[in-house]
Chain A
Amino acid sequence: MIVIAGDSIVSALGFTADDNYLSVKSGASGVKRYEGLYGVPEPFMASLINQEALDAKFAALNPPHGEEYSPLERTAILSASDAILQAGVNAAHPRTVFIFSSTKGNIEYLDANISDERLYLWRSAQRIASFFGNANTPVVVSNACISGAYALLTARREILSGRYDCAVVTGADRLSKFIVSGFQSFKALSGKICKPFDAARDGLNLGEAAATIVLQRRQEATKGDILLEDGAVRNDANHISGPSRTGEGLYLALSRIMRGRDSADIAFVNAHGTATPYNDEMESIALHRAGLDAVPVNGLKACFGHTLGAAGVLESIISARALQEGVILPTQGFEQSGTTCPLAVTCAILPTEKSYFIKILSGFGGCNAALLFKKA
């Protein structure tokens, strides 16, 4: 079995998974209004990491002299370091692999020089793995907004194949003029804290974060451990940026992980819930088609914003902690049902005795991911 052995989140809400989980439970949001940042002509809402605090914590890791690490790499290394420490694994072991997920990496260096080596995602991944003395070639996943979930699925497969016993999975993205401009060009950004699944939802908030899960092969799980049981990715084959009207790919991914399983065993679905009109509508259709409409649904985008390549890892961590504690978290920003197919979107902390949760994500390129986690 494949167990979450350690986890960590670096975000606007804190520098450990504990900090972040407790902040979410207390109803906090990292989303704020920024004006004039990165030279963006219009104000925008985003959840940003406190750079000074990050730099101080990074310096405390005693990084090697003469090495320059980018803000993205510092964020990723800090989260990996904390998760590895908690897991108590040997990160340098030849049977440990690093898996890195990011959509845009160090894209801000494009402003200076298009032949800058720091622009390559594989280079950032190598620097992160080398920081911990790991000599295996790291795996790099760049699959739009499902990247973090795909990195976890890839880690599961690397371990199941027998090639590795342990995988350090880090998802990270930092915001920049490039990313904010892109989402603004789609008119996808909300001017307020976003409202997943709500009738008045009008767009998403961007966020930056790094999140790490250390997955480890174990012969036996200890009671309360969270296992990554299954996962699937399917395409809509419909449109490169518009969500499918029938939720085809997400429906197929959900059907694949629910094969031979009962929806009555699922404590909750942690949705992508970006709070754009089309995404949340599509998710509601796919969940209905998959027979999961009676299962409680929650979303975390009003707490962290959409953290892009980190989202799959970050939201899995918060959800795993909730399941471990036997609770279902509320959906900040949600008040009134606003999808054609009604869902059981949570408004308050609810207790649960059930032992599974599902994490779903969808992204540009028509890709959709579903992961199934289980409490031992």
Chain B
Amino acid sequence: MSAQLNILSQCSIRNGCVYKNGNKVFEAPQEPNPPAFLAAVYRELRLDYRKFFKMDNLSKLAFLASEVLLDGWIDRDVPHQDIAVILFNRSASLDIDAIYRQTIQDKDKFFPSPSEFVYTLPNIMTGEIAIRNKIFGETACFISEQMNVADLYLKVSDVMDDTVRQCLCGWVEYFGNHYAAELLLVEK
């Protein structure tokens, strides 16, 4: 079943740095806290995408990594039915879950804004990437204890049937002070 997959593009975001295809393309001047770092990456990329500011940190991280990854590879003006988005992480949406849980301790805020609750699912980050890039293909989120490249390769190969040309895939983890994104764009 599993076809040979070619890597078209790569993006890593970790330890205050952004890498594209192995080259460092941005480094935070000092060691900022993770949300401030994500905001700095957004500014560095000169993006104008208001939805970014509504996202939780996990989605922000996935979104920024996908912007770097797809730069030059996708036409955002046309729909893409043949691209899939398959992401993995360790902590699901626990980062925003903890914030949501804190909010509803306060009796007056027991029914917070629905836009807060919606992020308490890890696959929302795949939806954000799909919306931004008009990707209508398969989107999914798997949870695993640690990143396992061999397992990722098998899962992505399984997804890539004759209706799928490219797959945006990889690992996006954000919980407390720890974050890491390792994304690949692959083609059969």
Contact = CB atoms under 8 A, between A and B. Distances in A.
A111 B98 CA distance: 9
Contacts of A157: 158-159
Interface stretch (A26-34, A133-141, A220-228): A133-141
Contacts of A236: 130, 136
Interface of B: 1-2, 79, 81, 85, 90-92, 94, 97-98, 100-101, 104, 107, 110-118, 120-124, 126-128, 130-131, 133-145, 148, 151, 154-155, 157-159, 163, 176
Interface of A: 40-41, 103-105, 107, 110-111, 114, 119-123, 126, 137, 139-144, 150, 154, 157-158, 160-163, 177-178, 181-187, 232-241, 248-249, 252, 256, 363-367
Contacts of A103: 121
A123 to B, nearest CB: 8
Given A111-B101, A364-B124, A365-B124, A185 B130 contact: no
A186 B157 CA distance: 37
A196 B116 CA distance: 26
Contacts of A367: 123, 126-127, 139-140
Given A163-B154, A186-B114, A238 B124 contact: no
A235 B137 contact: yes
Contact of B114 (A41, A114, A185, A365): A185
Given A232-B138, A235-B126, 10 more contacts: A103-B121, A121-B92, A142-B121, A142-B123, A161-B157, A162-B1, A163-B154, A178-B100, A240-B127, A248-B136
Contacts of A235: 85, 126-127, 130, 135-139
Contacts of B148: 137
Contacts of B104: 177-178, 181
A254 to B, nearest CB: 13
Nearest to A188: B114
Which of A104, A177, A256, A365 has its CB near the most chain B CB atoms (within 10 A)? A365
Contacts of B158: 154, 157-158, 160-161
B131 A122 contact: no
A158 B2 CA distance: 11
B101 A178 contact: yes
Contacts of A161: 1-2, 154, 157-158
Contacts, number: 160
Contacts of B140: 141, 143, 150, 233, 367
Nearest to B117: A182
Contacts of B116: 185
Given A240-B118, A240-B128, A120 B135 contact: no
Contacts of A110: 94, 97-98, 101
A185 B111 contact: yes
A235 to B, nearest CB: 4
Contacts of B163: 256
B176 to A, nearest CB: 8
Contacts of A248: 136
A365 B135 CA distance: 12
Nearest to A181: B104
A144 B123 contact: yes
Nearest to B93: A142
A249 B107 CA distance: 38
15 contacts: A103-B121, A137-B151, A141-B142, A141-B143, A144-B123, A154-B155, A157-B159, A160-B158, A161-B2, A161-B157, A178-B104, A181-B117, A241-B118, A252-B136, A363-B123
Nearest to B176: A114
Given A121-B92, A163-B154, A185-B111, A114 B128 contact: no
Nearest to B85: A235
